[in-house]
Chain A
Amino acid sequence: MPFNLHSIMLDREKCRGCTNCIKKCPTEAIRVRNSKARIIDQRCIDCGECIRTCPYHAKYAVTNSLDDIQKYEYKVALPAPSFYAQFETDDINKLLQALLEIGFDDIFEVAKAAEIVTEFTKQFILQRRDKIPIISSACPAVVRLIQTKFPDLIDNILPLASPMELAAYLAKKKINKQKGIEINKIGAFFISPCAAKMTYVKLPLGFERSYVDGVIAIKDIYGLVRSKLRSIKDVKPLSISSGKGIGWAASGGESLALGIDEYVNVDGIHNVIKVLEEIENGRLNNIVYFEGLACSGGCVGGPLTIENPYVAKNRIKKWSSKLATSSQVLEETTNQIINSLGIKMEDLLFKKELEVNPVLELDSDIEEAMKKYERVNEILKILPGLDCGACGSPTCKTLAEDIVRGLANDTDCIFILRENIKELAKKMVELSNKIPPSLERDED
């Protein structure tokens, strides 16, 4: 993946070269070199673990600024369901009104798009019962994780547009139809809890191009929205989402909306990895749907949010049950949108296959790879197995692989270096005791 496509970046000034981030990275994508962390772009899946782990806040996600929306004639905000959980308010419409007041012309709720995705996911499940469990594609970090670490599960990924992608598509289609504004003059901006969505926009999964034009971090507009919220008096009915769509913000919400019993929902990237391993082993064959979210708690735990994820999760729960009573009316709007814009499942289907990211392979030639693998094992035998991280690689095993790949030396290991120095010192003592034959020596 080209360098400039990644969202997660390092602030070199702040990085102290400690080894906290390399230990937490699920794809072993970070090394410490010259006292600074270095992200290996091809390996990074933008899960945000390093942002959360870094004690010096040296990792950050590059997102768009609010000024970027000015490039477009008509600006539409696509608030993530988790956006609703960031503020204490008695009315969701106020939150959407605040978005209009900070400069947007229009809103399309990603929660509503989520409800539409749910409808088509149900259809898809009925057609494809043979390939279960079907794995949700809503979390781009999990999709990239599968491409990198679980290539044999790529086929199980739900090949449908994510709610964010669909929201942008629907918003543009609707605005174009109702207001006659050309598509390329409409700027659709995702109000995001998530760093991986930024990467997605630049390098979409399953599509050549994204309909989303930019991603604005919730944390960047949090203060502004909060200040606007206080002054909002007359509230217009802007929200058309039901509790089902809003529920997507927290782990399990997507599955719940599907209304099936045979699902598993997992949050936190390391937990997701464990369950994907079980799926690989064929252990979850009775499960129809797998919802895996990289962040703890789900999107409410995203690295670009402000509110404590547990508080946020509780708010989502409250909104979900509060809006459940009105859900019938709101569900009708789902069908209205589907019908009036003529949306079919084919419109949501991936247009581009998801590829394997072969970055963990030791070599593209299997025989070469086997030789390298043997060498990794030989090197591993002489490494101390402490996984101390002082060499800059997360584990002894990764160091061994880095050595075989030609990216590190065995003396990067301080224990091997110490051994070598000890040997050298011994040799020096030995040599210092040697006297040229021309000189007199003590005979016994």
Chain B
Amino acid sequence: MPLTMEFDIKAGDFVLAGEASSKIKDTLKKLGVKPEILKKVAIVSYEAEMNIVIHSVGGVLKAIISKDKIEIIAEDRGPGIENIELAMMEGYSTAPEEIRNLGFGAGMGLPNMKKYSDYFEIESQKGSGTRVYMVVLNK
């Protein structure tokens, strides 16, 4: 039986931002997941959570933990990405000035999510939401 964790992520709430991924991380530590796997999940789940906070109108972060893999699913309710190919490029960012001033929006979110996951899938449509599905293998 896989273990499922699900969190509502509020848009623009920088005080709570990072808490969901922190809880996922803590759980994996309790489960004794190996350091190198932990590291990957920590980064991809944090980036996914921050993307919802910064770019969306709100959404859900989900972790499905099984023996051989950890799935991270980030689903938001919009506004969607106009050009996914562009968004996947390192350094490309649509984050507004005030977010960049907070040290976010360096355009590394999606590229890092892809880099640190073993499987990465992104679906998005302008006007609707974005769904990112990532798998980190636990081996």
A residues neighboring B (CB under 8 Å): 149, 151-152, 154-155, 277, 280-283, 356, 358, 360-364, 366-367, 369-370, 373-374, 376, 401
| A-facing residues in B41-66 (Cβ within 8 Å) | 42-43, 46-47, 65
How many angstroms from the CA of A369 to the CA of B67 in the assembled complex? 10
Q: Is the interface of B mostly helix, strand, loop or mixed?
A: helix
Chain B residues closer than 8 Å to A374, beta-carbon distance: 1, 3
Select from chain A the residue with minimum beta-carbon distance to B29. Answer: A360
* Chain A to chain B: the 4 pairs with minimum beta-carbon distance, closest first: A361-B32, A281-B46, A152-B39, A152-B35
Is A362 a contact of B30 with CB atoms below 8 Å?
yes
Chain B residues closer than 8 Å to A151, beta-carbon distance: 29, 35, 38
How many angstroms from the CA of A298 to the CA of B104 in the assembled complex? 30
How many angstroms from the CA of A356 to the CA of B32 in the assembled complex? 10
How many angstroms from the CA of A401 to the CA of B27 in the assembled complex? 12
Select from chain A the residue with minimum beta-carbon distance to B42. Answer: A280
Is B3 a contact of A370 with CB atoms below 8 Å?
yes
Pick from A149, A152, A373: contact of B31, CB below 8 A: A373
Chain A residues closer than 8 Å to B35, beta-carbon distance: 151-152, 154-155, 356
Is B32 a contact of A373 with CB atoms below 8 Å?
no
| Best-buried of A152, A154, A367 by chain B (most CB within 10 Å) | A152
Chain B residues closer than 8 Å to A358, beta-carbon distance: 32
Query: Is B98 on the interface with A (CB-CB < 8 A)?
Result: no
| A-facing residues in B11-41 (Cβ within 8 Å) | 18, 21-22, 25, 27, 29-33, 35-36, 38-39
On whether A366 and B32 interact (CB within 8 A), knowing A152-B38, A282-B43, the answer reads yes
Give the number of A-B contacts (CB < 8 Å): 64
B residues neighboring A (CB under 8 Å): 1-3, 18, 21-22, 25, 27, 29-33, 35-36, 38-39, 42-43, 46-47, 65, 67, 103, 112, 138
- A150 CB, min distance to chain B CBs, angstroms: 9
Is B30 a contact of A361 with CB atoms below 8 Å?
yes
| Best-buried of A277, A361, A366 by chain B (most CB within 10 Å) | A366
Select from chain A the residue with minimum beta-carbon distance to B39. Answer: A152
- A405 CB, min distance to chain B CBs, angstroms: 11
How many angstroms from the CA of A152 to the CA of B3 in the assembled complex? 21
Given contact pairs A152-B36, A281-B42, a sample of 4 additional A-B residue pairs in the complex whose CB atoms are under 8 Å apart: A277-B22, A280-B39, A281-B43, A283-B103
How many angstroms from the CA of A151 to the CA of B31 in the assembled complex? 13
Is B67 a contact of A366 with CB atoms below 8 Å?
yes
Is A282 a contact of B47 with CB atoms below 8 Å?
yes
Is A366 a contact of B31 with CB atoms below 8 Å?
yes
Chain A residues closer than 8 Å to B21, beta-carbon distance: 281
Chain B residues closer than 8 Å to A401, beta-carbon distance: 30
20 pairs across A/B with beta carbons < 8 Å?
A151-B29, A151-B38, A155-B35, A281-B18, A281-B42, A281-B46, A282-B46, A282-B112, A356-B35, A360-B29, A360-B30, A361-B32, A364-B32, A366-B33, A366-B67, A367-B67, A369-B32, A370-B1, A370-B31, A374-B1
Pick from B3, B43, B112: contact of A373, CB below 8 A: B3
Chain B residues closer than 8 Å to A152, beta-carbon distance: 35-36, 38-39, 42
How many angstroms from the CA of A358 to the CA of B46 in the assembled complex? 24
How many angstroms from the CA of A155 to the CA of B18 in the assembled complex? 23
- B46 CB, min distance to chain A CBs, angstroms: 4
Select from chain A the residue with minimum beta-carbon distance to B46. Answer: A281
Chain A residues closer than 8 Å to B38, beta-carbon distance: 151-152
Chain B residues closer than 8 Å to A154, beta-carbon distance: 35
Is B39 a contact of A373 with CB atoms below 8 Å?
no
Chain B residues closer than 8 Å to A277, beta-carbon distance: 18, 22
Pick from B1, B2, B25, B30: contact of A369, CB below 8 A: B30
Chain A residues closer than 8 Å to B33, beta-carbon distance: 366
Chain A residues closer than 8 Å to B138, beta-carbon distance: 366
How many angstroms from the CA of A24 to the CA of B132 in the assembled complex? 39
Select from chain B the residue with minimum beta-carbon distance to A369. Answer: B31
- B40 CB, min distance to chain A CBs, angstroms: 9
How many angstroms from the CA of A154 to the CA of B46 in the assembled complex? 20
Is B47 a contact of A363 with CB atoms below 8 Å?
no
On whether A280 and B29 interact (CB within 8 A), knowing A152-B42, A374-B3, the answer reads no
Chain A residues closer than 8 Å to B46, beta-carbon distance: 281-283
Select from chain B the residue with minimum beta-carbon distance to A356. Answer: B35
How many angstroms from the CA of A358 to the CA of B38 in the assembled complex? 14
On whether A373 and B67 interact (CB within 8 A), knowing A151-B38, A282-B43, A361-B32, the answer reads no
- B133 CB, min distance to chain A CBs, angstroms: 20
How many angstroms from the CA of A233 to the CA of B138 in the assembled complex? 68
Chain A residues closer than 8 Å to B27, beta-carbon distance: 373
Is A370 a contact of B65 with CB atoms below 8 Å?
yes
Chain A residues closer than 8 Å to B29, beta-carbon distance: 149, 151, 360-361
- A112 CB, min distance to chain B CBs, angstroms: 35
